[in-house]
Amino acid sequence: MAPLPKTLEKFTAPIGTPVDRFISEKQEHFPYAKGELSQLLRDIVLASKVINREMNRAGLTEIRGHVGAENVQGEQQQKLDVIADYRFRMALQKGGETCAIASEEEEDIIDTQHYYSKYVVTIDPLDGSSNIDSNVSVGTIFSIYRRVSPIGTPPVKEDLLQKGSRQVAAGYVLYGTSTILVYTTGHGVNGFTYDGSLGEYFLSHPNITFPKESKFFSVNEGGSNTFDKKLSDFLQYCKDENYSGRYIGSLVGDFHRNLLNGGIYLYPESGQYKQGKLRLLYECNALAFLAEQAGGIATNGIERVLDIKPEALHERTPFFVGSKGLMQELADYLT
């Protein structure tokens, strides 16, 4: 093939590795798998593209604002909460690779009727949805586990109530200035940016790790007067050391920023949230898995998040996650 003229080179530069190809290439990490996990990840990717479209149209359509009901958490559902939950459920059910789904928006597990499927999924379809009307970044968080009940039988709640250490894949989608998919299958963390003109995610952040040096902390100080004194002392230390406070109020946005720039995210128990606010299955396990794969640490202030055995689908927990150095400094204060 004849070389292209110099004037055309900038129009023919490589566009990068699409996520579908990347997923296929990494199947070798799972010798027991036969393509089902790869297809399951593709189903999640597809649903995220649909949600991205709806997010971009939200200001021009009637899908912003409250739907007029509360979810199982007792929180006001946004219209996009309901839409996101529906889109992901439909994508996973039609994909056929999961026998059960646990969604933050649903009270009980969702039986997909695919009893020969090997996997189950826990998902927060639209985290940070209270920020939608303010045009602040929101996200989707997901975890994938191998089922523990016999293949060929109906799923049971125990399929979902597994320790985070048993995750085979986890990730999030951040819908912001650009839409980014970040996921791990236990072999490092990679990020993909969505190109709407081509309708595809492309590898943009390979082998993500927390920076070694970091001086950012993220916490909602609105309830700080009820924080444990040890935690309050740590926050004062951060301020005395001139660390920078950065808090969006959107978990995925805060985590993503700290993952790229270094930092620590803290959501402790408080006067309003005696057990913490964040959900173990739908938020904390996935982000803890990602954090550890990126060289970070995630705890509930006492133990490793991935070692916690869930007792209920909507169990809450305090959550501290971030760069190893800052997390070790926090541990010095909490012990």
Residue 68: is it exposed, middle or buried by C-beta count within 10 angstroms (0-12/13-18/19+)? exposed
Please check if 124 is assigned to a binding site. Answer: yes
In the DSSP assignment, the letter for residue 94 is H
**Cα gap 334→237, rounded to integer Å:** 13
Half-sphere exposure of 248 (CA within 13 A, CB side): 24
User: Which helix (H) or strand (E) segment is 56 a member of?
Assistant: helix 36-57
Please check if 231 is assigned to a binding site. Answer: no
Please check if 329 is assigned to a binding site. Answer: no
**Cα gap 312→118, rounded to integer Å:** 22
| CA nearest neighbour of 273 among 232, 220, 323, 234 | 220
Please check if 128 is assigned to a binding site. Answer: yes
Residues composing the chain: 335
Rg (CA), the chain: 20
Please check if 277 is assigned to a binding site. Answer: yes
**Cα gap 6→265, rounded to integer Å:** 48
Please check if 126 is assigned to a binding site. Answer: yes
| Beta strand 189-195 pairing with 179-184 | antiparallel
**Cα gap 5→2, rounded to integer Å:** 9
Please check if 160 is assigned to a binding site. Answer: no
| CA nearest neighbour of 292 among 126, 118, 170 | 170
Please check if 85 is assigned to a binding site. Answer: no
Please check if 80 is assigned to a binding site. Answer: no
1's tokens: 């093939």
Query: What's CA 292's distance to the chain center, in Å?
Result: 13
| Beta strand 264-267 pairing with 319-322 | antiparallel
Please check if 247 is assigned to a binding site. Answer: yes
**Cα gap 197→200, rounded to integer Å:** 8
Binding residue ranges: 104, 124, 126-130, 220, 247, 265-267, 277, 283
Q: Annotated binding site for substrate: which residue ranges?
A: 127-130, 220, 247, 265-267, 277
User: Which parts are annotated binding residues for Mg(2+)?
Assistant: 104, 124, 126-127, 283
